[in-house]
Amino acid sequence: MTTSQIAVTRTSGVTTPAGFRAAGVAAGIKASGAPDLTLVVNDGPQDAAAAVFTTNKVKAAPVLWSQQAVSDNRLRAVVLNSGGANACTGPEGFQDTHKTAEKVAEVLRISAVDVAVCSTGLIGERLPMDAVLSGVDKAAQVLADTEKAGLDAATAVLTTDTHPKQSALTHPTGFAIGGFVKGAGMLAPNMATMLSVITTDAVITPQQLDEILKATTKVTYDRLDVDGCTSTNDTVLVLASGASGVQPSKEDFAEALHAVCHDLVRQLQGDAEGVTKEISVTVQGAASEDDAVAVARTVARDSLVKTAFFGSDPNWGRIMMALGNAPAQIEADKIDVTLNGVLVCQAGGRAADREGADLSGRDIEVLIDLHLGEAAATVLTTDLSHDYVEENSAYSS
């Protein structure tokens, strides 16, 4: 995951591009009374949309609905709720999603098939539909294109997240991209278990939007792996209004989208459940990019590597153990491992004294050189801490 050169701001999100209104309200879905329903509306003139969904074979009702809704590459609105995933809820759960989309369509005077639905929270429970439907009314009444409305939208989707996560930029050529993301647990590849809505006022065809989104998520959201758990609800949506009148080059748009997605993913990493270390695992010298990703992901996901890092322990032997399990071409006696700039393992054996690598800070950079080829990749992860265990042993009950 390379760092983009374009500057982003985290003070605004989906309402930065022209043509969008948003809202986030407390609908009463969460027992706590916290905000729990978000609405994002594309007022046009265009309505191109693209999406990427979870690879989990158990898909929540809103994922099944939204896959259909976006199949024509057009969306006018997205409604999202926290307080319940609406997953493993059977035909009734799907009807609840359908009703929610119908309600949004009714209040906005659009078609239900142009409304995507996202849900997050506990799996296996029906949503309180009275609260959801009245929440849609409430949200529609306060839709606005202001920074505050964007922040409200980013806030009402949160579950165990500790703060809203937004990112936006205005490109020198005159178009803007903004977005928000939620996610703190079940963070794994092929949609880093989360919900993300991105807006843009660029003029772009649905086909280009789809192509660029898929290429971008592959190297941003898909390269975060907090706990190896891919959720039933992961969704990334991008909506284009065309309201800027600017038609960017493919390269400019791809670079800008990458900058926003990369920044959102870094915020997901920093707000992951129980995180005390932000770890990047870079593999270079791989025979292929797939191999580089496989090795980096296997190391990033290994419980013994992650607990060692929680303890600030430069235990490179566990990294060697982990990468030996990766489904990739490796030769143990060629491998170098560098921890925060200190070469601790050279040609598969001990190099500098491991204690020379200082891992006491929040950031840990792991560099693995396989010395087999030219391909490289980076996967982001976090440590496995007491707080991770604590948060996840007490979530549903």
Q: Are the beta carbons of 360 and 337 closer than 8 angstroms?
A: no
354 lines the binding site for a second copy (CB under 8 A): yes
Q: Which of 89, 155, 193, 298 is catalytic?
A: 193
Query: Taking CB under 8 A as the criterion, which residues in 365-384 touch a second copy?
Result: 384
Is residue 193 part of the annotated active site? The answer reads yes
3-state secondary structure of 349: strand
115-119, strands of its sheet edge to edge: 20-25, 37-42, 77-81, 115-119
360 lines the binding site for a second copy (CB under 8 A): no
Figure out which of the listed residues 316, 364, 379, 381 binds a second copy, where binding follows CB under 8 A: 316
93 lines the binding site for a second copy (CB under 8 A): yes
Q: Are the beta carbons of 223 and 216 closer than 8 angstroms?
A: no
Figure out which of the listed residues 163, 214, 250, 386 binds a second copy, where binding follows CB under 8 A: 386
3-state secondary structure of 137: helix
Q: Rounded to an integer, what distance in angstroms lies between the CA atom of residue 132 and that of residue 28?
A: 8
Query: Kind of pairing, strands 342-346 and 336-339?
Result: antiparallel
Binding to a second copy by CB under 8 A, coded x per residue (else -) over 103-122, reads -------------------x
CB of 231 to a second copy, least distance (A): 6
Is 193 annotated in a binding site? The answer is yes
323 lines the binding site for a second copy (CB under 8 A): yes
Stretch that binds a second copy, among 20-28, 284-292, 323-331, 374-382 (CB under 8 A): 323-331
Query: Taking CB under 8 A as the criterion, which residues in 266-305 touch a second copy?
Result: 301-304
Q: Which residue has the tokens 């996610």?
A: 183
Concatenating the DSSP letter of every residue in 307-327 gives HHHHTT---HHHHHHHHTTSS
Question: 259 exposed, middle or buried (CB, 10 Å; 0-12, 13-18, 19+)?
Answer: buried
Binding to a second copy by CB under 8 A, coded x per residue (else -) over 166-185, reads -------------------x
Query: Between residues 144 and 351, which has the closer beta carbon with respect to a second copy?
Result: 351
215 lines the binding site for a second copy (CB under 8 A): no
3-state secondary structure of 140: helix
Q: Rounded to an integer, what distance in angstroms lies between the CA atom of residue 52 and that of residue 237?
A: 7
> Which of 52, 50, 54, 97 lies closest to 74, judged by CA?
50
Q: Are the beta carbons of 275 and 269 closer than 8 angstroms?
A: yes
* Residues in binding site for substrate: 159, 182, 193, 273, 392, 397
* Residues in binding site: 159, 182, 193, 273, 392, 397
Residues of this chain that interact with a second copy (CB under 8 A) are: 55-59, 85, 87-90, 93, 122-126, 185-186, 188, 227-232, 301-304, 307-308, 310-311, 313, 315-318, 320-326, 330, 332-333, 345, 347-350, 354-355, 384-386, 388-390, 392-397
